[in-house]
Chains A and B, each alone.
Chain A
Amino acid sequence: MSAGRFLRLWRIVPPFAVGAVLLAIWEFVVRINGIPPYILPSPLAIAESLWTDGPSLLGSLLVTLRVTLAALAAAAILGGAIAVLFSLSRILELSLFPYAVILQVTPIVAIAPLIIIWVSEPFLALLVCAWIVAFFPIVANTTVGLNSADRNLLALFRLYGASRGQVLRYLKLPTALPYFLTGLRISGGLALIGAVVAEFVAGTGGAETGLAFRILEAGYRLAIPRLFAALFLLSLTGIVIYLVLDFLSRLLLRHWHESAIAEEEE
């Protein structure tokens, strides 16, 4: 077996082994103590529910996923643009950054009802909620990145008579890319959380029901295995979003950034 393949296996096997052991203990504990499924369903019961309710849950997942991805895209574009504006004008950064922080620390649960009332279109209302949660890490990280350009390189650009636009394009934006991508990875998870929280608050406001509402509904009906199945799908989605963004980050930084360089190469 090659060293590279061994390393890859080494990254995959342990987390799955831990999961398998934990699931086995869970199943064992539920069976030994005869815990009823409406208190704690066993993993097998959850799997069974996942099989029977899977198709309808997947439909709901798609609804939630649409909100999540739209919010993430909006966070990436607007968050990046806001950070660039901040880097161009110190006074703009000083005047607006506190409000970005206020938006960040305001509990989304508290303001989601208001947003849902103000924004009549249900999809848009959910999108706004998820966006508020997701955009801050991108703004904060990208702002740091844009301000992290090497001082000597900045001096060199000055010496060659570079315009502000050129400094931004050739120096600040590439410097900020790894920071932006770190923000994006954090925001991926947050956008999902934001979408779920907004759905919890909104209920079935719209014609389509997202995964969050299915969780609520399963809870009311004491269909606890289905609740867990929905939670499982949600977690899986979060992991997939993270992996995709991580892959994207490695792809974009593979030539130069330390974070993206494979160990074997060194």
Chain B
Amino acid sequence: MSQSRDTSSIVRLRRIGKSFRSGLRTLEAVDLDIGQGEFLSLIGPSGCGKTTLLRIIAGLAEPSEGERRLSLAADRGKHMPSRRVSFVFQDPTLMPWCTVVDNVLLPFRIAGRVGAAERERVGAEIRAVGLTGFERAYPRQLSGGMRMRVSIARALVTDPDLLLLDEPFAALDEITRMALNDDLLRLWESRRTTVVFVTHSVFESVYLSTRIAVMTARPGRIAADLRVDLPQPRERSLRTSPGYAAICAAVSNELVHATAAGSQ
């Protein structure tokens, strides 16, 4: 079913495999097309190569075999599509010596464009993630959830075509995590940036995504590719709805199969 979206897909992976020098095989023949405006979650057991796959999509790692193609709006045909792809790590990955503003300003600083317009953008993005009043704060003065918001603001400030998130909320407590889930949904609903979201949590993936790819244990393959046909915009009440529970059950089921398949 993913083949039919070829025309609008912005990420195209064909037979991607990855072996490390130690002989460890993390990915095996991964085929994946990600369409414009999709919110795709990659879910799978620990060590199934989700992060590696995300780094390959970003261009931060090279596949051992297979083909990776990004079709981005302003793709300059260069090896590194700078500023069209944003990455949010598991840690907030902020520069501790910089204020919130300067951290979010980083992509512009590297691009050599720090003018009034860029500062305006940064201010708007900080407000969008709910950090109004903390512009001059340093990362150590913020809570874990707020640091992650800064990280998300930095990723969104360049208005990327593709936003990659690598278990961004894994280290946060449940309440903060739910709040950030909602905020990420709002941000995505208003911009429709294409998102690839790596997570361990079935509930989180179903709540956020339009599509979920379930991966097997090492070496990681795509075991199942599920659409999440839940109403949008999504509200918190969705978390207790029967439809949500049914999809969670289906994804959990696929995950159990995928984990077992990998260990055989």
CB pair B110–A158 under 8 Å, yes or no, is: no
Provide the residues of chain B in CB contact with A162, threshold 8 Å. 110
Q: Are B87 and A166 in contact (CB under 8 A)?
A: no
CB distance from A250 to the nearest CB of B (A): 14
Q: A162-B110, A174-B95, A256-B139 are in contact. Are A156 and B80 (CB under 8 A)?
A: no
User: Is A48 part of the binding interface, using a Cβ–Cβ cutoff of 8 Å?
Assistant: no
If A256-B139, A256-B140 touch, whether A159 touches B93 (CB-CB below 8 Å) is no
Q: Cβ of A155 < 8 Å from any Cβ of B? A: yes
Residues of A within 8 A of B111 (CB): 160-161
Q: Does B14 contact A (CB under 8 A)?
A: no
A236 / chain B contacts, CB cutoff of 8 Å: none
Q: In the assembled complex, which residues on chain B have CB atoms less than 8 Å from the CB atom of A152?
A: 89, 91, 93
Chain A, range 154-202, C-beta contacts under 8 Å to B: 155-162, 166, 170-171, 174, 177
Residue of A nearest to B91 (CB): A152
- Check: A221 CB closer than 8 A to any chain B CB: no
Which residues of B from 34 to 92 have beta carbons under 8 Å from A? 55, 58-60, 80, 82-83, 85-87, 89, 91
The answer to whether B93 touches A153, judged by C-beta atoms less than 8 angstroms apart, is yes
- Complex CA–CA separation, A128 to B85 (angstroms): 52
Interface: A261 (CB within 8 A):
yes
Count, A-B residue pairs, CB within 8 A: 58
Q: Is the CB of A255 within 8 A of B97?
A: yes
Nearest-CB distance from A225 to chain B (Å)?
Answer: 50
What residues of chain A lie closer than 8 Å to B140, measured between beta carbons?
256, 258, 261
Inter-chain contacts of B138 with A (CB < 8 A)? 255-256
The answer to whether B80 and A157 have CB atoms under 8 Å apart is no
A160/B93 in contact, CB under 8 A: no
B interface residue count range (under 10 / 10 to 19 / 20 to 34 / 35 or more): 20 to 34
A159 proximity list for chain B (CB < 8 A):
58-60, 80, 82, 85-87
Q: Is the CB of A170 within 8 A of B139?
A: no
B96 adjacent to A256 (CB under 8 Å):
yes
In the complex formed, the residue of A with least CB distance to B139 is A256
Residues from chain A with a CB closer than 8 A to the CB of B106 are 156, 160, 170
Q: Contacts A155-B87, A166-B110, A170-B110; is A160 near B82 (CB within 8 Å)?
A: yes
Contact A155 B60 (CB under 8 A): yes
A150 proximal to B (CB < 8 A): yes
Q: Is B107 an interface residue (CB 8 A)?
A: yes
Would you give the shortest CB distance from A255 to chain B, in whole angstroms? 5
A257 CB-CB contact with B under 8 Å? yes
- B97–A160 touching, CB < 8 Å: no
CA distance A23 to B107 in the complex (A): 60
* Nearest CB on B from A33, distance (A): 56
Give the CA-CA distance A171 to B59 in the complex, in Å: 21
Q: Could you tell me the distance in whole angstroms from the C-beta of B220 to the nearest C-beta in chain A?
A: 20
Distance of A155 Cα from B109 Cα, bound (Å):
16
List chain B residues, Cβ under 8 A from A158: 60, 80
User: Are A153 and B95 closer than 8 Å at their CB atoms?
Assistant: yes
- Cα(A152)–Cα(B90), bound, Å: 10
Q: Which residues of A contact B (CB under 8 A)?
A: 150, 152-153, 155-162, 166, 170-171, 174, 177, 255-258, 261
Sorted nearest first, the 5 A-B pairs with minimum C-beta distance are A161-B82, A152-B93, A256-B96, A160-B110, A162-B110
Q: Could you name 30 residue pairs across A and B whose Cβ atoms are closer than 8 Å?
A: A150-B93, A152-B91, A152-B93, A153-B93, A155-B55, A155-B87, A156-B87, A156-B106, A158-B80, A159-B85, A159-B87, A160-B106, A160-B111, A161-B80, A161-B83, A161-B110, A162-B110, A170-B95, A170-B106, A170-B110, A171-B95, A174-B95, A174-B97, A256-B96, A256-B138, A256-B140, A257-B96, A257-B97, A258-B140, A261-B140
Known: A159-B80, A171-B95, A261-B140. 4 other contacts (CB 8 A): A155-B87, A170-B109, A174-B95, A256-B138
